[in-house]
Structure 1
Amino acid sequence: MRILHTSDWHLGRSFHREGMLDHQAAFVDHLVEVVAAERVDLVVLAGDVYDRALPHVDAVRLADEAFARLASSRARVVVTSGNHDSAQRLGFGSRLIDRAGVHLRTRADAVATPVLLSDEHGPVAVYGIPYLDPEALREPWGLPARSHQAVLGEAMSRIRDDLGTRTDGPRVRSVVLAHAFVAGGQSSDSERDISVGGISRVPSRLFEGIDYVALGHLHGAQQLTDEIRYSGSPLAYSFSEADQVKGSWLVDLDDGGLSASEFVPAPVPRPLARLRGRLADLLADPGLATAEGAWVQVTLTDDLRPRRAMEQLRGRFPHTLVVGFEPSAAAGPAVPVARRGVRSDHALALEFVADLRGVPAGADESALLQTACDACAHDPEADVLVAVEGEG
């Protein structure tokens, strides 16, 4: 049986306020092509279909299109809900959709009810574990503690009990989908914290004996063991993921379990680039030509903050999204200066600009600051004096 493992689509998510839906649609096109070209029997999507519990209508429309196209393919599909999804909304109509070969598994009480498939080697039981809230399930499941380990451990216990009843005939191979932070995995900046009591990780030993474990939640593709893997998100959702290769796992099960695996890279509609240096150097460096079509994060190391830095950067790198400032070590960090005496609002604003930037405000900036101070005053004609350090 050939399985394509994907997760964390986060449909509807933006990247620093830039819409990603077209890029996500391109990934769906790629996924459907892989299913056909590689003769995939089963697609597993391990949670976070959407980026929020109440997704935008355009995100719902893309999910509907994706599931319809997969239902028309040669593959069966099993989908679980993640911590970003609304389990109720994603699972709506699941009993009807099952008939189309797309199996939505979003209910905690159904973790031990597998989707049963078969191939020339015999049966395969696919168990979908949605994201499980330890607080919500502590009492109904009689958990000994309010933790991810306790709730996921109980889910796996129920799955093993079900597997134990399937002893007639050939060995039943098992596939488990889970949306969790498993120890050994490396996180990035774009994942939402799911810790309970400061603890979010669960041990990989919870999945011992399962032929393949398709994990979701962490956005970097990674292999914890031969059988336990994260596919990661299909697109980068933070600059911390700039060096990650995005895609899906293509794995084969034979009569003994996992027999082969391959990582299938996803298309990259727009790469990510992180640049660091002085503004003039970045604008002139011919070696940075490849960053001109990328989403760009820039850290400027100029001793003095350049004026219109974003505007200048976008002149060469039009998709610059983030600009930070870290002056060189020689310049040293800005040290706040204790001010004493009585000053007008305008004078304090000018001093703040000079301290922050290292050079005084220009005449046009001074006039703009004066206009702003006047707009905040009860009497625009009054030159309000402010006491500093308790004096005056």
Structure 2
Amino acid sequence: MKILHTSDWHVGKVLKGQSRLDDQLKALTKVVEVAQAERPDLVLVAGDLYDTATPTADATRIVTRALTALRRTGAEVVAIGGNHDNGPALDALRSWAEAAGITLRGAVRGPADHFVTGHTRDGEEWRLVALPFLSQRYAVRAGELFELTAAEATQTYADHVARLIARLAEGFGADTVNLITSHLTVVGATMGGGEREAHTIMGYAVPSTVFPSSAHYVALGHLHRAQQVPGPAPVRYCGSPLAIDFGEEENVSSVSIVDVTATTTAKVREVVIEGPTPLRTVRGTLEQLSTLDPGDAWLRVYVSEPPRAGLREEVQALLPRALEVRIDPKLLPEAGAARPRIQRSGRSPGELFADYLAQKGHVDEPTVALFHRLHEEVVK
């Protein structure tokens, strides 16, 4: 059996005000091309199809066309909701998905809803636990499907997830390929840099022991860096097919191709996804920046000059593709450093503002003059 594992498309993601729909479309086109070349039996999309719970019409069009194109390769396609997705809204598309031959699971429902079965082209049977992202708020409600005791209801998020997976995995067979896909943070895994922090903190982290040894492969989404996680079964994040923001510029954008049978260990290959516009961080003075040739990359710029009025505009004139411009942190006062006490009594707002700028390492007469002009307009 061959599986294509992908996740964290984040279609609709806007980077510093710049739409990246073209890049997202290019990345998903490459994913489809990989599927066409590899001819997998099953495609698993492990959550975060969208970047927002209210995707635009263009984002919806890209996602539905990508899922349809993956199905047209002849593979079975199963997609689950992630923490960025609106689970109920995804479930509202299930009639469309079923008509297209796609299995879509947006939110956690009854146990039978999250156990999917099928056969490969060669007739090998596979069984899949498809568990969408589960918030702490709804973890107990999902657990109530199994008639929890009062003590069980007060257990941790990890306990509830482990109970759900264990219950769902009861349907695994001794002679079937047993699979799990979910959208989770696993203890010991490395974040990719662009994940939503509130859903990666330890309160949402689960140990890899929540996955049973009877699983042949665990296909995870949520962390954007491709990586294997030690566990009772092969547990893997496939990573995102494109860098979501500048914190991920060094990640390798990829999908995972998995070869496995009911009697052999899963073998995983990474297939790199190339084509989308790269993200790049550059540093230097204005003179140094003026000599750069960043190509078509979107840029984050750290300027090695003291802050002053108009500096951002000067940088963007040199580098029109600079989406983020910051002062090099080395030039700014250290956080927590002792600051002299400012005498406020009897001093004008302009003087206080100038002292504030000096403390921040931002000594710039045009900025002070602008403050004076604005203050005069306000007090008139």
Matched residue SS, 1:199: helix
Compared with structure 1, are the counterparts of its residues 247 and 305 closer, same or farther at alpha carbon in structure 2 (3 Å cutoff)?
same
- Is 1:202–2:211 an aligned residue pair? no
Compared with structure 1, are the counterparts of its residues 257 and 178 closer, same or farther at alpha carbon in structure 2 (3 Å cutoff)?
farther
Of the structure 1 ranges 18-27 and 112-121, higher mean CA displacement relative to structure 2 is found in 112-121
Q: How far apart, CA to CA, are the structure 2 residues paired with 1:68 and 1:246?
A: 22
Identity of aligned residues (%): 30
1:153 is displaced (CA, Å) by: 0.6
Compared with structure 1, are the counterparts of its residues 358 and 179 closer, same or farther at alpha carbon in structure 2 (3 Å cutoff)?
closer
Q: How far apart, CA to CA, are the structure 1 residues paired with 2:354 and 2:162?
A: 60
Query: Of residues 115, 131, 135 in structure 2, which corresponds to 1:113?
Result: 115
1:130-155 Cα offsets, whole Å, 9 max, x none, are 11123323142424445331222112
Partner AA of 2:163 in structure 1: E
Q: How far apart, CA to CA, are the structure 2 residues paired with 1:135 and 1:271?
A: 37
Contact 1:127–1:176, Cα closer than 8 Å, also in 2: yes
How many residue pairs get aligned? The number is: 366
Query: Of residues 250, 258, 278 in structure 2, which corresponds to 1:271?
Result: 278
Larger radius of gyration: 1
Contact 2:139–2:157, Cα closer than 8 Å, also in 1: no
Query: Of residues 210, 225, 231 in structure 2, which corresponds to 1:220?
Result: 225
Q: How far apart, CA to CA, are the structure 2 residues paired with 1:76 and 1:315?
A: 49
Contact 2:80–2:132, Cα closer than 8 Å, also in 1: yes
Larger relative contact order (C-alpha < 8 A, sep ≥ 6)? 2
Query: Of residues 133, 137, 140 in structure 1, which corresponds to 2:139?
Result: 137
Aligned to 2:311: 309
Q: How far apart, CA to CA, are the structure 2 residues paired with 1:276 and 1:229?
A: 34
1:36 is displaced (CA, Å) by: 1.1
Partner AA of 1:36 in structure 2: Q
RMSD, aligned α-carbons? 2.7
Aligned to 2:259: 252
Aligned to 2:184: 180
Aligned to 2:170: 161
Matched residue SS, 2:195: coil
Compared with structure 1, are the counterparts of its residues 326 and 72 closer, same or farther at alpha carbon in structure 2 (3 Å cutoff)?
closer
Q: How far apart, CA to CA, are the structure 1 residues paired with 2:48 and 2:87?
A: 10
Q: How far apart, CA to CA, are the structure 2 residues paired with 1:158 and 1:21?
A: 39
Unpaired stretches in structure 2, ≥5 consecutive residues: none
Partner AA of 1:240 in structure 2: G
Aligned to 2:84: 84
Query: Of residues 283, 297, 303 in structure 2, which corresponds to 1:300?
Result: 303
Compared with structure 1, are the counterparts of its residues 300 and 37 closer, same or farther at alpha carbon in structure 2 (3 Å cutoff)?
same
Compared with structure 1, are the counterparts of its residues 294 and 256 closer, same or farther at alpha carbon in structure 2 (3 Å cutoff)?
same
Matched residue SS, 1:293: coil
Ranges of 4+ aligned residues in structure 1 off by more than 6 Å: 329-334
Q: How far apart, CA to CA, are the structure 1 residues paired with 2:309 and 2:258?
A: 53
Tell me the TM-score normalised to structure 2 length: 0.86
Aligned to 1:385: none
Contact 1:353–1:361, Cα closer than 8 Å, also in 2: no
Contact 1:247–1:263, Cα closer than 8 Å, also in 2: yes
Q: How far apart, CA to CA, are the structure 2 residues paired with 1:94 and 1:257?
A: 33
Unpaired stretches in structure 1, ≥5 consecutive residues: 381-392
- Is 1:242–2:245 an aligned residue pair? no
- Is 1:147–2:156 an aligned residue pair? yes
Q: How far apart, CA to CA, are the structure 1 residues paired with 2:271 and 2:49?
A: 19
1:83-129 Cα offsets, whole Å, 9 max, x none, are 11111110114255224321002342245522322343621112211
